[in-house]
């Protein structure tokens, strides 16, 4: 993990740890939405791409699969290193994210791609093109890059007692758990996922690698993975380094987004807001006495249509005497 932090320094931002007393007293947030592409994904993407270039200098290009944020991150890393880049994205992906991937010079493949078949499609395309795969969550280089967030939180918050991270494919929470538990095993690590995409919570309950029966329709588009990766399952369930995985409703995610926008002045996307949603809904037990809680706000690439809808509802509520979220 320390090697990853050293490798990606200069390519990613060391984001601050900020108080969120306007929402919940004593809570800290790590706004990864301040990264160059608007999410934490640049950490894993640059670590994987830089290691690939070091180990295989003749690699002509890279390929990945993504709902958007990882695709942007890999596209940026590829452009920085002079590599070709192809991103496989499901049809109907967030248009802001699709446009951003293309703007970074990547080729987007979406025809016939769904959340259910995207892994199969990217592997077939990789075999046909010979491009190197940078997986969004099920690769140690990616996981170790994401885990640098945990290292920074340990430095910034000496009395950290609880770390909260979103869970989609499991790369972020796994990397942070590996980093934090190695140095401070008493720190609790809790993952949060939407009720509509609760495969990690189900896996932790059953002890088996559970998979969603169908593609999720959650607004948290970055957390729609059909299941956590095999490496994430190892860290979360088999090694037990994640202390709990809780779920939040769509309405709770929306309320947390508006709270972050209007009270913290941070533009958080649905996937990035699930940790705040869990805290606001009381889903997570408080941190131990004399310790602090930090929630990772993983991204800020919001669909303009969704933002307009939520802000209109918020404005209408305030106009009729409603209270802020």
Per-residue pLDDT tens over the stretch 162-187? 999 999 999 999 999 999 999 999 99
Contact between 64 and 122 under an 8 Å Cβ cutoff? The reply is: yes
Q: 49-101 pLDDT, tens per residue?
A: 999 999 999 999 999 999 889 999 999 999 999 999 999 999 988 888 899 99
The predicted structure's pLDDT at residue 100? 93
Choosing from 30, 39, 66, 67, which is the catalytic residue?
67
The predicted structure's pLDDT at residue 88? 96
The predicted structure's pLDDT at residue 217? 93
Of the chain, the percentage scoring pLDDT greater than 70 comes to 100
Domain 2-34+144-312, CATH: 3.40.50.1100
The predicted structure's pLDDT at residue 115? 82
Q: Which of 123-127, 176-180, 245-249, 276-280 has the lowest mean pLDDT?
A: 123-127
Contact between 226 and 197 under an 8 Å Cβ cutoff? The reply is: no
The predicted structure's pLDDT at residue 67? 84
Residue 188: pLDDT over 90: yes
Q: Average per-residue pLDDT in the chain?
A: 95
Residue 294: pLDDT over 90: yes
Q: Give CA–CA dist 125/142, Å, rounded.
A: 20
Task: Confirm whether 67 is a catalytic residue.
Answer: yes
Task: Confirm whether 206 is a catalytic residue.
Answer: no
Q: 251-278 pLDDT, tens per residue?
A: 999 999 999 999 999 999 999 999 999 9
Which CATH fold topology does 41-133 show?
Answer: Rossmann fold (3.40.50)
Of the chain, the percentage scoring pLDDT greater than 90 comes to 90
Any idea where the domains of the chain sit in the sequence?
Answer: 2-34+144-312, 41-133
Residue 136 to residues 55, 202, 277, Cα–Cα distance (Å): 19, 21, 24
The predicted structure's pLDDT at residue 318? 86
Strand partners, 18: 29
The predicted structure's pLDDT at residue 313? 92
Is there a common fold for 2-34+144-312 and 41-133? yes
């Amino acid at each position: 993990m320390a090697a990853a932090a050293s490798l990606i320094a200069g390519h990613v931002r060391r984001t601050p740890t900020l108080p969120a007393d306007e929402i919940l007293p004593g809570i800290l947030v790590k706004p990864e939405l301040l990264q160059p592409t608007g999410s934490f994904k640049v950490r894993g993407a640059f670590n994987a791409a830089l290691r690939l270039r070091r180990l295989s200098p003749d690699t002509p290009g890279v390929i990945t699969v993504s709902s958007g944020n990882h695709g942007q991150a890999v596209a940026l890393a590829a452009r920085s290193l002079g590599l070709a880049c192809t991103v496989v994205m499901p049809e109907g992906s967030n248009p802001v994210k699709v446009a951003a991937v293309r703007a970074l010079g990547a080729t987007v493949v979406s025809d016939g791609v769904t959340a259910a078949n995207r892994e199969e499609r990217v592997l077939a395309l990789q075999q046909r093109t010979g491009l190197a795969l940078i997986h969004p969550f099920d690769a140690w280089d990616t996981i170790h890059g994401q885990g640098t967030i945990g290292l920074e939180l340990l430095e910034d918050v000496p009395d950290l007692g609880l770390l909260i991270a979103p869970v989609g494919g499991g790369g972020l929470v796994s990397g942070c758990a590996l980093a934090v538990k190695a140095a401070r095993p008493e720190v609790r690590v809790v993952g949060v996922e939407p009720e509509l995409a609760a495969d990690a919570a189900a896996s932790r309950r059953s002890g088996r690698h559970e998979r969603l029966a169908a593609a999720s329709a959650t607004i948290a588009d970055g957390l729609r993975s059909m299941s956590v990766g095999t490496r994430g399952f190892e860290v979360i369930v088999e090694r037990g380094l994640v202390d709990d995985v809780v779920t939040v409703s769509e309405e709770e995610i929306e309320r947390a987004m508006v709270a972050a926008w209007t009270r913290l002045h941070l533009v958080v996307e649905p996937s990035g807001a699930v940790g705040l949603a869990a805290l606001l809904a009381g889903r997570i037990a408080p941190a131990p006495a004399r310790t602090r809680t930090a929630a990772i706000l993983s991204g800020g690439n919001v669909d303009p249509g969704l933002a307009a809808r939520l802000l209109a509802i918020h404005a209408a509520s305030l106009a009729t005497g409603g209270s802020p979220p």
